[in-house]
Structure 1
Amino acid sequence: MPDKKNHFETDAIRTQTPTTGEREHSTPLYMTSSFTFDSAEHARAMFAREIEGNVYSRYSNPNTDEFIEKMCRLEGAEMGVATASGMAGVFGCLAGLLGQGDHVLASRSLFGSSHQILSQILPRWGISFTYADVESPEKWEELIKPNTKMLFLETPSNPGLDLIDLKWAGKLAKAHDLIYIVDNCFATPYLQRPIEFGADLVQHSATKFIDGQGRAIGGVIVGSEKHMEDIQFFARHTGPALSPFNAWLFSKSLETLPVRMERHCDNAEVLANFLGDHKHVNFVKYPFHKDHPQLELAKKQMTRGGGVVCFEIKGGYEKAKLFIDKTSMVSRSANLGDTRTIVTHPASTTHSKLTEEERQAVGITPGLIRIAVGLENSKDIIGDVEQALG
């Protein structure tokens, strides 16, 4: 990575693969599975990693390299790996760093598939976990065991938008020599930079706000060279590689991330304020809303509240279904971070594989609805939500 650091917007736009002899202004696509060598000795030295360069697109590619370098700059990281999906990134963080007998302390409020990896897949290899409740940080230290190796958390959480104090968690991890990993998908590096608060690694589903247009699936892990080398080794040999085309899309999308996130936040704040006063709504959760119980923490570690709002509709599941079915402009989808506003019922979709008890523990009630607020005119978003609430 170059030493010089510009402002966020400039790095997002001007971090580019060196131009070829064609003098292109925009980075071209490198749709190739492999690369050639000048000689047998050149090939040997490349495979021995004595010299830098591209060998095979499962290992590296100019498009994925550019995307990784941008994400490292934007998150303040030393090194990174791009993956075929956000969940490949989560698994890469865990499987690349953990071994038999290790223990993970994780925040209870996690995405459903992250929960499945911790509870159903890693135990096959003798890796255990314990959940810590967001609302009881004073008890986290008691949950650390002699074999605890990692602190894994998500903030803001999906879908409940609970927050964890990143600086406090960093001190806890350092005191117990834990690898500290943050899923920063909801905030993006534009709104929150966990490494500045002590995180060793940051993981993203690039499918969401980084792409921003619902086109491609991918993920990225960035962080300290000390830990990324093990993850890079894991990814190199197990093959969760991001395609050059998707990397090219993500890198181009990062050029507009700041302006998109500002509009997402503007619209989300308007929607949260509308829902907070609605007679058919029990409560609304949004990090920068006046009623969020962690508003001061949100302002301390985030620049704005993000593009996701959740609320509980009165009447439970039946009213939630009715609301979703009555929306007309808003899309019904399990994705988020799109230009288009999306509505999701977490209990029956993204978090349906959790038990009822597990959902209740993280506030996923039958009436909870998640809205990923898009870039449409805020009056049209409010209008559709209002008519669906009835």
Structure 2
Amino acid sequence: MSLPDDATPWHDPTRLLHGDAGLGDDSAVSPPIHYSATFKARDAAEFAEMAGTPRHAAYYTRYGNPTHERVAAILAALEGTETAMLTASGMGAISTTVLALVQAGDHVVAQGRHYMSTAKLFDEVLPRFGVQVTIVEQTDLAALEAALRPETRLIMLESPANPTLVLTDLAAVAALARPRGILTIADNTFASPINQKPHALGIDVVVHSATKSLGGHHDLTAGAVCCSQALAERIWPMHITLGSVLSPMDAWLLLRGLRTLAVRMERMNANALALAQWLEAQPQVERVWYPGLPSHPQHALAQRQMQGHGPVVALALRGGYEQTSRFVASLQLATHAVSLGGVETLIVHAAAMWGGLMSEAQMASTGIQPNFVRLAVGLEHIDDLKRDFGRALQQV
């Protein structure tokens, strides 16, 4: 998007609305959905040019699509990167990026707390293909630095981390990695680019599950990779090989969702902080984790690297599994479902959700106790949320 006349960058809410200006047919106020798998060429010369242009927006939708192009332009503007690519899911974005940037014999460092499928990629998949992985506690910079080797090619980060909202000092990790020629990837899903800009802190690649806050309505599945043109040229061939292609319809839904991201996130940030403060004062609540609370052990880091603290709040109730299940079941406004960042408040009893997929030891190592709850705050009126949660807490 071009700069205003005084060369001052546009603010994020304006980028969301006008970041795709000049792409496609601008006669339509609402951009069309380019629901076509393939696009025609006028002659052999144009066909050869289309086929030979990486990420061409109108050749074949696995390679690119005009609707994808609009979304990518907005995301790149938000994250401050040269370009962006879309995938069919957040894990599509993460897996494609990692597999494109490492090979047998390489070494990767990953933090100890990640989205579960990301953790499986590093714990189970990469070692099968000859890539060594070292897992470190993300709050321990000395341990992370000690894990680096001459063959280390990549550091994978996530901040805030799912589900316990542990933070990683992104600027400090980037400062360790860049002089050594090590690439860094940060999953920015929990924060969103409204609240945190990892690339500005020195991170090379920013990935998202766009299913969450970017889409914002629990009606699509998508992923995004934001990076330099040079890195995109390395990642894109793996993308078209693996085929994690976002449908034009979901790309259009994502485009529509992005238009309201700034106003939605402003309300979610306010709701989440107010609810976290209120929950912290309730006698039935043992502990609350939220980066915006002074009680969060990394609150100072959150203030330094985040502009807002996101919609996710974690809490532990006074009681065990049964009391926690009763509390969750008693809520009327919070829907018992996975995901986050949508207009409705969602809640999960973490031990119930992950219990069938992780051992008790694995859950304990990631901070998931029987009384642990993850809450993704939506756009409801805060007084109604407090009333609903207060009523449910009486059941604990």
TM range (shorter): over 0.9
**Aligned to 1:334, which of 335, 338, 350?**
338
Shift of 1:134: 2.7
Return closer, same or farther for 1:50/1:152 CA change in 2, 3 Å cut-off. closer
2:299 matches 1:295? yes
Which of 9, 12, 37 is matched with 2:13 structurally? 9
What residue number does 2:69 align with? 65
CA distance in 1 between partners of 2:89 and 2:26 (Å): 32
How far off is 1:2 after superposition? Answer: 4.8
Is the aligned partner of 1:357 residue 2:361? yes
Quick check: 1:112–1:353 contact (8 Å CA) kept in 2? Answer: no
Q: Does 1:383 align with 2:366?
A: no
Query: Quick one: which of 85, 91, 98 aligns to 1:87?
Result: 91
CA contact (8 A) 1:111 1:351 kept: no
Residue 53 of structure 1, CA deviation: 5.0
Match of 1:270 among 248, 262, 274: 274
Equivalent residue for 1:224? Answer: 228
1:285 partner amino acid: W
CA distance in 2, matches of 1:53, 1:190: 27
* C-alpha spacing 1:117/1:9, structure 2 compared with 1 (3 Å): same
Partner of 1:347: 351
Q: 1:352 to 1:185 in 2, by over 3 A?
A: farther
- Contact 1:336 / 1:372 at 8 angstroms: preserved in 2? yes
CA offsets 1:142-197 (integer angstroms, 9 cap, x no match):
11123221110100111101111111011011133211000000111101000000
Report whether the alignment pairs 1:250 with 2:242: no
Is the 8 Å Cα contact of residues 138 and 144 (structure 2) preserved in structure 1? no
Secondary structure of the equivalent of 2:193?
A: helix
Which residue of structure 2 lines up, in the alignment, with residue 312 of structure 1? Answer: 316
Counterpart contact for 1:270–1:378, Cα < 8 Å? yes
* Aligned twin of 2:115: 111
Q: TM-score, normalised by structure 1?
A: 0.96
The question of 1:128 aligning with 2:129 is answered no
Letter in 2 for 1:286: Y
Opposite residue 7 of structure 1, the aligned amino acid is H
Give the Cα separation in 1 of the matches to 2:356 and 2:121: 15
* 1:255 maps to amino acid: R
Number of residue pairs matched by the alignment: 390
Compute the displacement of 1:3 (Å): 6.3
What is the CA-CA distance between 1:239 and the residue it aligns to?
A: 1.0
Indicate which of 282, 286, 291 corresponds to 2:290.
286
Unaligned runs of 5+ in 2: none
- For 2:54 and 2:168, the matched residues in 1 are separated by 42
2:34 is the counterpart of 1:30 = yes
Decide whether the 8 Å contact of 1:17 with 1:62 is kept in 2: no
Q: Residue in 2 aligned with 1:49?
A: 53
Residues 1:178 and 2:178 are matched in the alignment: no
- Output one character per residue of 1:70-109: Cα deviation in whole Å (capped at 9) or x when no partner: 0000000112210001111110111111111222111111
Distance apart, 1:325 and its partner CA: 1.3
- Three-state SS of the structure 2 residue aligned to 1:188 is coil
**Whole-Å separation in 1 of the counterparts to 2:23 and 2:333:** 42
- Counterpart secondary structure, 1:191: coil
Identity of aligned residues (%): 33
The CA distance in 2 between the partners of 1:127 and 1:254, in whole Å, is 36
**Aligned in 2, Cα 1:93/1:273: closer, same or farther, shift over 3 Å?**
same
In structure 1, stretches of 5+ residues that fail to align are none
1:329–1:147 Cα change, 3 Å: same
Partner residue, 2:263 = 259
**Which TM-score applies when normalising by structure 2?**
0.94
Give, in angstroms, the shift of residue 354 of structure 1: 2.9
Question: What RMSD in Å do the two structures reach over aligned CA positions?
Answer: 1.8
Larger mean CA deviation between 292-301 and 48-57 belongs to: 48-57
Which of 202, 207, 211 aligns to 1:207? It is: 211
- Work out the CA distance in 1 between the residues paired with 2:87 and 2:55: 24
- Judge which range, 47-56 or 65-74, deviates more: 47-56
Alignment of 1:360-375 (within 5 A): 360-375=364-379
Amino acid at match of 1:38: R
